[in-house]
Amino acid sequence: MKRSLVFSAGLSAYLLLAAAAHAEDYVLTLKNNQFSPKVLTIPAGQKIKITVKNQDATPAEFESSDLNREKVVTANSEITIFIGPLDAGSYGYFDDFHRDTTIGTIIAK
């Protein structure tokens, strides 16, 4: 019984890592409290990996109610976020520390 539990846990971890390895990679850059690109187009129906690079000297927060994500990006560092697969549509995101000016959109097609 113990062996099958260990095997199942190992297999689950392997499958998660394999799925992450096959996710498409995209980059969002934060500079001067602005996301670049402001509109990120991705394929619908696929899991993707987004690297958020904060090139500012202050922290930021990638947040999206649409994507159910919220993660702080410290100054001059980067984070990784996995999303999807998403249905075709538009998904907003913003920097919660600069909510009114630092916004962007992910378009899944």
pLDDT tens for 11-48 read 555 555 555 555 679 999 999 999 999 999 999 999 99
- pLDDT-derived band at 9 (thresholds 50, 70, 90) equals low
What's the one-letter identity of residue 77? S
Domain residue ranges in the chain: 23-108
Longest dimension (CA), the chain: 56
Token pair of 73 as six digits: 């990006």
Superfamily of domain 23-108: Cupredoxins -  blue copper proteins (2.60.40.420)
Residue 69 near residue 61, CB atoms below 8 Å:
no
For residue 85, say if its preceding peptide bond is cis, omega within 30 degrees of 0.
yes
Mode of pairing for the β-strands spanning 89-95 and 69-73? unpaired
**pTM, full prediction:** 0.77
What's the one-letter identity of residue 61? E
